[in-house]
Amino acid sequence: MPQLDTREDPRPENQPDAQRVADVLPLPIIEMARFRRLMNYEGREVDLPRMCTDTAYAHERLATAHTSSDERLRNSAMRLFAAYDRNNSAAPVLH
């Protein structure tokens, strides 16, 4: 009698919803809200959901914030960049 293959299918489209949700970075939401508010004060838009799923976009927004004359915004960007660094050191993020 043949045995069933019980290994999980590694293709993203066949992953359970819980696994796909795991691809979203766990980031400090309070700091992200503060970052968006400070960026808005400078007339710059920030898409928070995209910041959690698109590392290139997040790094571009953080780099832009780091050039600001507002020390609070620069510090917020540094804290968020450190959070991205911690999250990305364990496993690569899927886009």
Within a domain: 80: yes
Q: What percent of the chain has pLDDT over 90?
A: 49
The mean pLDDT of 75-85, rounded to a whole number, is 90
Domain membership flag for residue 59? yes
For the cut 50, the answer to whether the pLDDT of residue 72 exceeds it is: yes
State pTM to two decimals: 0.65
Q: Which domain holds residue 52?
A: 26-87
Q: 20 lies in a domain?
A: no
Q: Structural domain tally of the chain?
A: 1
Residue 10, in any domain of the structure: no
Beta-carbon contacts of 23 under 8 Å, excluding residues fewer than 6 positions away, are 53, 93, 94
With a CB cutoff of 8 Å and minimum separation 6, the contacts of 41 are 70, 73
Q: Residues 28-35: what's their mean pLDDT? A: 92
**Is 36 inside any structural domain?**
yes
Asked, for residue 51, whether it belongs to a domain, the answer is yes
* Confidence (pLDDT) at 20: 45
What is the per-residue pLDDT for 11? 54
